[in-house]
Structure 1
Amino acid sequence: MFTLRSAALSVSLAALIGLGACDAPPPGVKPATQASEDCVVLAEGLYEFQDGQFLAVTAESLQVTSGTGPEREIQSGFAALGFPWMGLKLRDRVATLTGTAPSAEAKAAAFAAGEAAIAGQAPGGRSILVVDGISVEGGERGVGESLIQLSDSGITVDSCQRAFAGTMEGRNIQFESGNARISPVSARLLDAVTGVATLCGRFVIEIGGHTDSRGADDFNLRLSQERADAVLAYLASKGVPQENLLAIGYGETRPIDPALTLEAYEKNRRTEFKVIQR
């Protein structure tokens, strides 16, 4: 059973109460979408009030809260598999495995088992994106850590931008030297980015490609565009609608650090994500 987050429901109810009810239109007259500044006519259904507007809520966009429905069924098997510390956060078609593993080896085994369990529970053969949100005790944090927070929050421009920034903090999408082929080591990072883009589907996501200052200006501009295009293609291949994505190559025109050092070059070679209201 899917349930709406109580915070979102409270906001929706408060907004409806503040706006007040509208008088029913005469028979045969189609209701207006907005009868007055204080009166909004909505079709029967469930809504969230966000960014100054009512947004229809579908079953797929509701968060599966802990202990209910598919999430409970999948999580119940983790302990039996030997991973009692592993949890699951499921929203829309994005499943983020959570928890703190005692070691990198335990994390790898748990993630593989979690992927298999989720694939076996996907309703109607529906594709589920599995994201790594598992941290290692005393070691690396899960790349999907910010996605977990987004799954528990309202979907706004600000919350989506924070999720992208948190996901990319201290990380970068790796490409082969001098070309736009994405390194396999970046797959889990890209999956986390895909998860954020999926949950933030009501917005446009700009993918900005940047290079360092070495090499010819025109080569760097072309390379940055090709790399941004490659990231867009990856997200699209994982189910993010292409109309939600915009790839722009900035070349070497927007450096973070203008110094001519290897450290500066590494900072400037990056992919950034910007959330844009439609």
Structure 2
Amino acid sequence: MVAIRSGTLCASALALALLGACDAPPPGAPAPGSAASASPECVTLAEGLYEFNDGQFLAVSSSYAAANGAAAWQNEISSGFAGAGFPWMGLRIRDRVATLTGTAPGADAKAAALTAGEASIAAHPQAGAAGLLVVDAISVEGGERGVGESLAVLAESGISLETCQRAFTDTMAGRNVTFESGNARISPVSAPLLDAVTGVAALCSRFVVEIGGHTDTRGADDYNLTLSQGRADAVRAYLVGKGVSEENLLSIGYGETAPLVTAATPEAYDRNRRTEFKVIAR
């Protein structure tokens, strides 16, 4: 992480900036506004907290104070989990996404912990007012993995096209968005999965995310194309409703044109009827 005060940063000053930039340019660097400072190697950054990744600075938060505040909220909230009976539960807040993590001893313990964790976040004066998206990343010992597990990993790593695509792929592995039969209405059981996907899209806001809808081969081609587009649009609307910018999302219905398997079996139909997420550089 790099804390930057507003000003112009040049390539020659990168090492100094990684240690903490200051208002004045480093010795030997051109003054802001000079011809040299306008070179392609210089960039003007607003005050904030940044990651330097793939040769670019990525804003992690709109302000350094807000970023530090989120870290403080995280510590203040999670410090109460042990006293509430959930010493194994953790919390990671990045931007507007909060993931509840850990391994529960059983399904009932997980359900109770999720309820307690969500209530603790909502009751916190700053975190509760921030409108955080809370995602389940809690696994059950010897059982299911938390649907937001890959999101939690992403929240602890650098944001790149590769890490974002991996988070989408791993989140969707063995899972699928469920719709009502023959229409584009999302089943309520898919809400935890879509919340995890929303969190990934929110952290990967520097990229465009394509939402691809696919059907099986049953039904007319035109019908399947329309159905898949409606379902992709429904997923996009869900993410937008949770705070992801519309301009970061693209929905495309592929109908039955891109099957994973070509067999005419129930298993093949299940695999081909899917929603996929592809990360695209701007």
Distance in 1 separating the partners of 2:65 and 2:202:
13
In the other structure, the counterpart of 2:133 is 129
The aligned amino acid for 1:85 is W
1:170 is aligned to 2:168: no
Partner deviation per Cα, 1:121-165 (whole Å, 9 max, x = no partner):
262722110100000011000000100110011111110000000
Partner deviation per Cα, 1:205-259 (whole Å, 9 max, x = no partner):
1000000000000000000000000000100110001111100000000000011
User: Does the residue aligned with 2:251 lie in a helix, a strand or coil?
Assistant: strand
| Selected match of 2:233 from 229, 238, 261 | 229
Distance in 2 separating the partners of 1:174 and 1:32:
56
TM-score, L = length of structure 1: 0.86
8 A contact 1:63–1:90 mirrored in 2: no
Distance in 2 separating the partners of 1:70 and 1:47:
19
| Selected match of 2:44 from 34, 42, 45 | 42
1:195 is aligned to 2:199: yes
Distance in 1 separating the partners of 2:269 and 2:2:
44
* Percentage of matched positions with identical amino acids: 63
Residue 82 of structure 1, CA deviation: 1.1
| Selected match of 2:30 from 23, 32, 35 | 23
Q: Aligned in 2, Cα 1:189/1:16: closer, same or farther, shift over 3 Å?
A: same
Partner deviation per Cα, 1:87-139 (whole Å, 9 max, x = no partner):
11111111100111111111111101111111112627221101000000110
Count of paired positions = 264
8 A contact 1:32–1:41 mirrored in 2: no
Distance in 2 separating the partners of 1:14 and 1:78:
46
In the other structure, the counterpart of 1:9 is none
Distance in 2 separating the partners of 1:43 and 1:153:
22
Note the residue ranges of structure 1 that are not aligned, 5 or more in a row. 7-11
User: Does the residue aligned with 1:95 lie in a helix, a strand or coil?
Assistant: strand
Partner deviation per Cα, 1:154-178 (whole Å, 9 max, x = no partner):
1111100000001000000000110
| Selected match of 2:78 from 75, 79, 84 | 75
Residue 35 of structure 1, CA deviation: 1.8
Q: How does 1:111-126 map to 2 (within 5 A)?
A: 111-121=114-124, 123=126, 125-126=129-130
Distance in 2 separating the partners of 1:226 and 1:99:
36
Note the residue ranges of structure 2 that are not aligned, 5 or more in a row. 4-9, 18-25
Select the structure that is richer in strand. 2
